[in-house]
Amino acid sequence: MVNFTIFRLSISRSYNESPIISLPNKLDFSHFKISRSQFSRNFGNAIFGYSPQISVSETKFTKITNNAIVISSNMPTEFSTSYVNQSLYSKTNVQITKCHFDRCKSVTEDCGGAINCVKSNVNISNCLFFQCYAKNSGGAIFLSQCTKVLLNSNAFQKNEVEFSASSCHIFLAFDLKISNSNYTEERSNTRAGSISLPSCEDILFSECIFSNITSKYTGIIELNSGSTTMSSVSFYNSNCEAVIYASYLAKLKISKSVFAGITSPAIYWNSFRYANLTENKLCTSNTTSFDGKFKENIIYGEDTTFNVEAAVINLELYGTVVPPTPTSTPSATATPTRSLPPATRQNLVIILDNTPDPTKERLVIIISNNPKLPPRTPSPSINKFKPPPAKQKLINTQQIAMVGGLILIVIVIIIYRVTRKERIPEVNASVFNKLDKGGVKLPRAARMKNADDFFD
């Protein structure tokens, strides 16, 4: 068993189809580690192969044409364009931290523009995926047959895929956690605008933000099985058939989430049999709705806040859309709740730095999709944020006088050079006497004209 470490490697403009770093199973690496390296404008894979432990940290991958990182059982026996398929039954632990994937593509594998990983336990954290692309699935990340997957504190921006999931396509994962991540301006030309999770179990989303996601079919997140829990997840200004598109035997529980600026149903479900919605904030889109073929009632929790007016509910299957009235009476010390009028139900108010101290300034953001609603002024108790006044610079008269003097000097020099005439140099009379004694007789005009030639 050998540990292999690469530190500060930089490779650019490699046009060979073979991987730059290949880890064949003939070399029994127990741990492969690479850090603080750079790969740019390479046609082949930057890292390809298998090892029980693979760690990639603080490394930048730029314009890799054929997947930046591939962890697969298809292993090359030599650096060539031909690959030999070899079955590997053991799994590897892959850890990728603080890496930057910039404009990486998938051409031959068709999946996972930045990362393509099979049969592994994967931990990806504090990474940036920017403008990655795949022809088939997973514009940035493609994972398959992974026992445990953790995606934490990552940023996905402007990734694109032709078929499914511009950010992540994860197939057959049994323990999946996605947390503290941002997904911005992602695009799928077919389905699953950002994330697709077919045949996954025990899925957890927490503290994630999805904004400006686009897909032609299905939703931002696509589920078809397993149990999914979403807590504190926000969806803003996206254009898909639905925000969450689920089918088959998927189970879903959503809490403390925000659906704002959505022009499609919030959730499309083939069967709401296992849906459980609690503690959701106010929806702001007039067309936001629960849609699908409802078979059983949705059970609302007592702490649910849902924009009922904006929901499209099939009353024949429901019978009612009003949440049940809490049986417990509120305590005297509890803050009384105030129902909003219908016109203001279309507003979403977000208060940042919500401190009880009235002397501190708070920033208030009001999001509204109702064009008839007049602009709303914040409460007098909320201080308006005003930037400090800019300091006025005093004009120094002495500096102006100095600058004016310099400009005047420059103008005088320019006028002098333009108007001055070329003068004939004055030559001592003794010079002409020497010329006369030497037998050189020149007219005086010729002498004056050729005086400079004499001294040369």
- Please report whether residue 409 resides in a domain: no
Least confident range from 211-215, 252-256, 320-324, 442-446: namely 320-324
| Short-list 93, 112, 88, CA closest to 101 | 112
Least confident range from 11-25, 128-142, 327-341: namely 327-341
- Please report whether residue 254 resides in a domain: yes
Instruction: Work out how many domains the chain is built from and give that number.
Output: 2
Three-state secondary structure readout of 135-149: CCECCCEEEEEEEEE
How far is residue 215's CA from residue 232's CA, in Å, rounded to a whole number? 23
Pick the most confident of 80-84, 100-104, 393-397.
Answer: 100-104
The reported pLDDT for the residue numbered 103 is 95
Using the 3D structure, point to which of 382, 406, 437 is the last residue of a domain.
Answer: 382
Joined together, the tokens standing for residue 321 give 């859309």
- Please report whether residue 301 resides in a domain: yes
Res. 17 pLDDT band, cuts 50 70 90: confident
The reported pLDDT for the residue numbered 317 is 32
Residues 264 and 352 in one domain: no
- Please report whether residue 422 resides in a domain: no
Res. 347 pLDDT band, cuts 50 70 90: very low
Per the structure, the complete domain to which residue 217 belongs is given by 89-318
Using the 3D structure, point to which of 382, 402, 434 is the last residue of a domain.
Answer: 382
Residues 358 and 312 in one domain: no
How far is residue 444's CA from residue 289's CA, in Å, rounded to a whole number? 108
Res. 22 pLDDT band, cuts 50 70 90: confident
| 8 A C-beta contact, residue 355 and residue 362 | yes
Res. 420 pLDDT band, cuts 50 70 90: low
Mean pLDDT of 100-104: 96
Pick the most confident of 128-142, 343-357, 361-375.
Answer: 128-142
Residues 226 and 351 in one domain: no
For residue 424, pLDDT beyond 70? no
Residues 281 and 368 in one domain: no
The reported pLDDT for the residue numbered 194 is 93
Residues 227 and 367 in one domain: no
Res. 107 pLDDT band, cuts 50 70 90: confident
- Please report whether residue 79 resides in a domain: no
- Please report whether residue 110 resides in a domain: yes
**pLDDT tens readout for residues 35-66:** 999 999 988 899 998 888 999 999 999 999 98
| 8 A C-beta contact, residue 236 and residue 209 | yes
Residues 185 and 310 in one domain: yes
**pLDDT tens readout for residues 189-210:** 998 999 999 989 899 999 999 9
Least confident range from 30-39, 56-65, 293-302, 443-452: namely 293-302
Residues 238 and 108 in one domain: yes
**pLDDT tens readout for residues 392-409:** 445 567 778 888 888 989
- Please report whether residue 427 resides in a domain: no
- Please report whether residue 37 resides in a domain: no
Residues 236 and 182 in one domain: yes
The reported pLDDT for the residue numbered 396 is 65
- Residue 122 pairs in a beta bridge with 94, 149
Query: Which amino acid appears at position 444 of this protein?
Result: R
| 8 A C-beta contact, residue 288 and residue 310 | yes
The reported pLDDT for the residue numbered 403 is 85
Residues 236 and 355 in one domain: no
How far is residue 395's CA from residue 360's CA, in Å, rounded to a whole number? 36
Query: Which amino acid appears at position 450 of this protein?
Result: N
**pLDDT tens readout for residues 209-265:** 998 999 988 889 998 888 888 888 888 888 888 888 877 677 888 877 777 776 677
For residue 14, pLDDT beyond 60? yes
CB neighbourhood size of 70 (10 A): 25
Residues 172 and 209 in one domain: yes
Residues 290 and 152 in one domain: yes
Residues 169 and 256 in one domain: yes
Res. 76 pLDDT band, cuts 50 70 90: very low
The reported pLDDT for the residue numbered 89 is 36
The reported pLDDT for the residue numbered 73 is 58
What b/e readout covers 128-156, taking b as 16+ CB neighbours within 10 angstroms?
Answer: bbbbbbbbbbbbbbbbbebebbbbbebbb
For residue 386, pLDDT beyond 50? no
